[in-house]
């Protein structure tokens, strides 16, 4: 049993660390204050192949698989959660949907430019009355000859106002419900009928965009149906399963940053004639942080390995939900302890701990709330013993 990373992954991590330190970190505070997407960073990321890390090289990607993608999300999130969010929404769910279920023609037309960073992708599922209850979406797509006519709206769509292509989920047969009446589509935002509504102002990850989207009699060619007609909800679930692993990796990066900052501060902050590292209260917080981080690291990379070696198994679905659930709660506890160790300094905007504290909170909500993750985990576990959760 070997828990070490292959040499190519170690080389990749060093490259991403350097990119994060030199290109991402210097802009982290600025894009938070200005609430702007770091286009200069995204452009540079595309130039060195970081916008399509998990995808095969034949589709313009880096061929890094889920392990490589988790390394990317861990290292970027370590210095800037906003930049990681832009990259993650693009790669991990936006383009991932048509990688998982798209046709070869769709992959050549859309995945290749997405993986190369020429297009930005987004994942449009959530609606005003369909948040955790994603099956309650009301956006409609009606067949009209060789096209579908799309009408409806989406909310809280990360990258929604900057995307070139969207994975959009719409009801195509209301009588069949979510399991047979929802279809996934690839939508180009340049098409007539698309418009952006409110761009949200947020507590954290303020350097990423979150927008309301409208579709008014937008015509979609039938060739842009993703996967089987009527099976869009299954595409959504599979895509979110994959995305949740990288969310766990991002949480791992944020937790590690909090630990490293706490260690450095405790070593250099003197109170009562000695570094606060000498205080048992500080030592216990550090010990708890480090222990949870190691548990999270094992969970994330084991799950990524299962994805790369075995694919979308039921075990993977359970573990991916655990990655998101446990990762989000570990990073919340880590940044909270980090702020406490920094005391009043941690509460001030001129120190990065304050931004990290705000950024971490969303991880318990997006891509499925933690309450939903607990439901997914319990449902899968009870299924093994013959109990169906309704």
Is residue 41 within 8 Å of 24, Cβ to Cβ? Answer: yes
Rounded mean pLDDT of the chain? 97
DSSP 74-129: HHHHHH-HHHHHHHHIIIIIIIHHHHHH--HHHIIIIIHHHHTTSS-EEEE--BTT
Instruction: Report the distance separating Cα 276 and Cα 266, nearest Å.
Output: 5
pLDDT tens digit string along 73-123? Answer: 999 999 999 999 999 999 999 999 999 999 999 999 999 999 999 999 999
pLDDT the model gives residue 165: 98
DSSP 315-356: HHHHHHHHHHHHHHHHHHHHHHHHHHHHGGGGGSTTSHHHHH
Is residue 91 within 8 Å of 268, Cβ to Cβ? Answer: no
Tell me 153's DSSP state.
E
Main-chain phi, psi angles of 184, to 5 degrees: -100, 140
pLDDT the model gives residue 92: 97
71-to-36, 89, 92, 322, 335 alpha-carbon distances in Å:
25, 16, 13, 18, 20
Contact residues for 368 (Cβ-Cβ < 8 A; gap 6+): 132, 240, 244, 321, 324, 376
- Which one of the listed residues 23, 74, 75, 367 is annotated catalytic? 367
Contact residues for 15 (Cβ-Cβ < 8 A; gap 6+): 48
Instruction: Report the distance separating Cα 154 and Cα 94, nearest Å.
Output: 14
pLDDT tens digit string along 155-167? Answer: 999 999 999 999 9
pLDDT the model gives residue 198: 96
Our answer to whether residue 40 is catalytic in this structure is no
pLDDT tens digit string along 115-165? Answer: 999 999 999 999 999 988 888 999 999 999 999 999 999 999 999 999 999
Query: Residue 189 pLDDT more than 80?
Result: yes
Please tell me the total number of residues recorded for the chain in this structure.
390
Q: What residues pair up with 195 in beta bridges, in sequence order?
A: 214
Is residue 70 within 8 Å of 301, Cβ to Cβ? Answer: yes
Ordered structural domains, the chain, with CATH: 7-120 (1.10.540.10), 122-230 (2.40.110.10), 233-384 (1.20.140.10)
3 state SS of 210: strand
Is residue 76 within 8 Å of 51, Cβ to Cβ? Answer: no
Beta-strand relationship, 165-171 and 121-124:
parallel
384-to-36, 104, 196, 380, 387 alpha-carbon distances in Å:
46, 35, 44, 7, 7
């Amino acid at each position: 049993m070997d828990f070490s990373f292959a040499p190519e992954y170690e080389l990749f991590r060093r490259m991403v660390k350097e990119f994060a330190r030199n290109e991402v970190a210097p802009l982290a505070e600025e894009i938070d204050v200005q609430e702007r997407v770091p286009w200069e960073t995204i452009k540079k990321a595309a130039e060195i192949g970081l916008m399509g890390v998990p995808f095969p090289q034949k589709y313009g990607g880096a061929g890094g698989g889920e392990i490589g993608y988790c390394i990317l999300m861990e290292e970027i999130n370590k210095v800037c959660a906003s930049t990681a969010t832009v990259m993650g929404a693009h790669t991990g769910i936006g383009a991932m949907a048509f990688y998982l279920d798209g046709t070869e023609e769709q992959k050549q037309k859309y995945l290749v430019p997405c993986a190369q960073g020429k297009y930005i992708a987004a994942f449009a599922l959530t609606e005003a009355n369909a948040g955790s209850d994603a099956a309650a979406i009301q956006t409609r797509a009606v067949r009209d000859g060789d096209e579908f006519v799309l009408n409806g709206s989406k909310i809280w769509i990360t990258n929604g106002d900057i995307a070139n292509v969207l994975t959009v989920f719409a009801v195509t047969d209301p009588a069949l419900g979510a399991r047979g009446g929802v279809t996934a589509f690839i939508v180009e935002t340049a098409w007539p009928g698309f418009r952006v509504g409110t761009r949200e102002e947020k507590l954290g990850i303020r350097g990423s965009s979150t927008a309301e989207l409208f579709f008014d009699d937008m015509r979609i060619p039938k060739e842009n149906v993703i996967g089987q007609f009527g099976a869009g909800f299954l595409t959504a679930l599979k895509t979110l399963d994959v995305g949740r692993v990288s969310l766990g990796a991002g949480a791992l990066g944020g937790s590690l940053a909090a630990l490293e900052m706490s260690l450095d501060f405790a070593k250099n902050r003197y109170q009562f004639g000695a570094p606060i590292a000498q205080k048992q209260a500080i030592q216990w917080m550090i010990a708890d942080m480090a222990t949870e981080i190691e548990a999270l690291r094992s969970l994330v990379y084991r799950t990524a390995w299962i994805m790369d070696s075995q694919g979308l198994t039921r075990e993977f679905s359970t573990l991916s939900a655990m990655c998101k659930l446990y990762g989000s709660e570990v990073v919340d506890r880590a940044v909270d302890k980090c702020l406490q160790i920094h005391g009043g300094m941690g509460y001030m905007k001129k120190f990065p701990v304050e931004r990290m504290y705000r950024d971490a909170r969303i991880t318990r909500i997006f891509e499925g709330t933690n309450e939903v993750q607990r439901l997914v985990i319990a449902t899968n576990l009870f299924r093994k013993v013959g109990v169906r959760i309704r």
